[in-house]
Every structure is written in C-alpha cells, then in structure tokens.
C-alpha cells in the first residue's frame, strides 16, 4: 500500500503514533474482515442508504462504508491516520461520491460549524476514540436539530459475566494490537448520557471473537 509521502518518521499528531505504527494499522484495515462485512451488510444498507445531505463519517478507515451511501450525499471523512487517505480518496471516487472530502482530524474536535450536518456516521470507532464523552458532545454539536448520529459499534459484553471478564482481561494486549480499541467500553451508557433527543438501537452479535456484542442504530439530536 503506497502511502504517507509526507508522514514524519516518528510521533504524529493527532494520534501520536510512530509512522511505522500508522502504516501497520492502515495495512490491517485495508486487508479488512470480509466475513464480518458480509454479516453487517444488510444493517449498513438499511442505516446508511436513506441518508441525504451533508454527512461526516468519523474514522472511516479503509472506506468499508462508502458503497452504502447514496451518490447524492456530500460526504466528508474525518480520519486521523493519514496513511488511509489515498485509499479513501480512491474508494470514494469509485463509489461515485463526487466532492468527497477527507480531513486529518479526530472525532473529539470536529472541523465543522455547529448545527451544520444532516448526519454523522461511525462504525467500530467509538471503542477507539480517546475521549468518548467529548466525541459524542462534538457529534451532537455539529448535527442540525433532527440530524442523526448513525452507528454500528461493538460494546461491553452485557449477557455473560465470563465473557465480560475476558474482555477486561485481554484489554491491555487488545489495545496495543488494535490501535487503542477497548473491547469492554459501555457505549450504550455513554450514548444515553450524551443528551440526544431520541435513541433507536438494536443489540446483535457479530461473528468476532471477544467483541461480538454490537449495538446498531441511530441517535437523533
């Protein structure tokens, strides 16, 4: 994967990772998880297909969601790993998203005016953001009244004490290998505390070890 022509060799804001680490994470994401994507495809079609207007996707990664949007949307990705930007540009063009833009940035400080977006989307990102509360506040700030935050996220194991304990046990290694991903985050509780007017979310299990429990749906500003 050719990438990051201007990337400094060590330490890079906003993620503060070494350049080799950013490249490695980009390669892992570009490789993807085809069996997982097949399992969530119908949900993605239902959630992302009807969206219109100005949309920001936080942490779009390798662009696995781009084909689900209507070509009529104005899409902006906010992706802190610059190694993924060339791939995102190519995939957005291939998906017919004309005028797609990609910002180097993080969900905790979004580069949009208040109440300016029709929707914000996120898949498998809230587990990784450094400050989950701040990211959700930012999402609420940039959404228009009635705008939607649409998400598919893995969450803390809610049903089995043993699997919940396993999520906590593996956390340090998991975080180190998967770019800061926290397998045990209570994302449902964070969403409930974030001040959205309405939340519609469904629990399901995806075919992934340890991070199978998922929440998919939307929150309305």
Ligand X SMILES: C[S@@+](CC[C@H](N)C(=O)[O-])C[C@H]1O[C@@H](n2cnc3c(N)ncnc32)[C@H](O)[C@@H]1O
Residues of the shown chain interacting with ligand X in the complex, contacts defined by CB under 6 A? 29, 58-61, 64, 78-81, 84, 106-108, 123-125, 128-130, 179
In the complex with ligand X, which residue's Cβ is closer, 197 or 202? 202
Write down the least CB distance from residue 142 to ligand X, Å: 13
43 neighbors 123 (Cβ within 8 angstroms): no
Write down the least CB distance from residue 36 to ligand X, Å: 9
Write down the least CB distance from residue 134 to ligand X, Å: 9
Alpha-carbon distances of 42 from 37, 46, 51, 103, 216, rounded to whole Å: 9, 6, 15, 28, 12
In the complex with ligand X, which residue's Cβ is closer, 109 or 202? 109
148 DSSP β-pair partners? 119, 220
User: Would you call 220 helix, strand, or coil by DSSP?
Assistant: strand
- Ramachandran class of 36: left when φ > 0, alpha when ψ lies in -120 to 50, beta otherwise: alpha
Write down the least CB distance from residue 46 to ligand X, Å: 16
In the complex with ligand X, which residue's Cβ is closer, 29 or 100? 29
Cis peptide before 169 (omega within 30 of 0): no
In the complex with ligand X, which residue's Cβ is closer, 32 or 146? 32
Q: Which two tokens stand for residue 210?
A: 């340890």
């Amino acid at each position: 994967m050719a990438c990051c022509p201007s990337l400094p060799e060590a330490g890079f804001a906003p993620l503060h990772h070494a350049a080799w680490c950013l490249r490695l994470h980009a390669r892992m994401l570009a490789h993807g998880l085809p069996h997982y994507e097949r399992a969530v495809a119908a949900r993605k079609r239902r959630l992302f297909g009807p969206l219109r207007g100005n949309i920001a996707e936080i942490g779009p990664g390798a662009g696995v969601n781009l084909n689900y949007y209507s070509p009529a949307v104005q899409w902006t990705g906010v992706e802190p790993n610059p190694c993924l930007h060339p791939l995102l540009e190519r995939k957005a063009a291939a998906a017919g998203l004309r005028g797609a833009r990609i910002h180097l940035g993080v969900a905790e400080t979004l580069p949009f005016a208040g109440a300016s977006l029709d929707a914000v989307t996120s898949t498998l990102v809230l587990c990784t953001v450094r400050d989950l509360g701040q990211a959700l506040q930012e999402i609420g700030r940039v959404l228009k009244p009635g705008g939607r935050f649409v998400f598919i996220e893995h969450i803390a194991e809610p049903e089995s004490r043993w699997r919940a304990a396993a999520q906590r046990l593996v956390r340090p290694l998991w975080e180190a290998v998967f770019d800061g991903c926290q397998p045990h985050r209570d994302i449902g509780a964070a969403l409930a505390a974030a001040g959205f007017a309405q939340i519609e979310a469904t629990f399901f299990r995806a075919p992934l070890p340890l991070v199978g429990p998922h929440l998919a749906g939307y929150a309305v500003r």
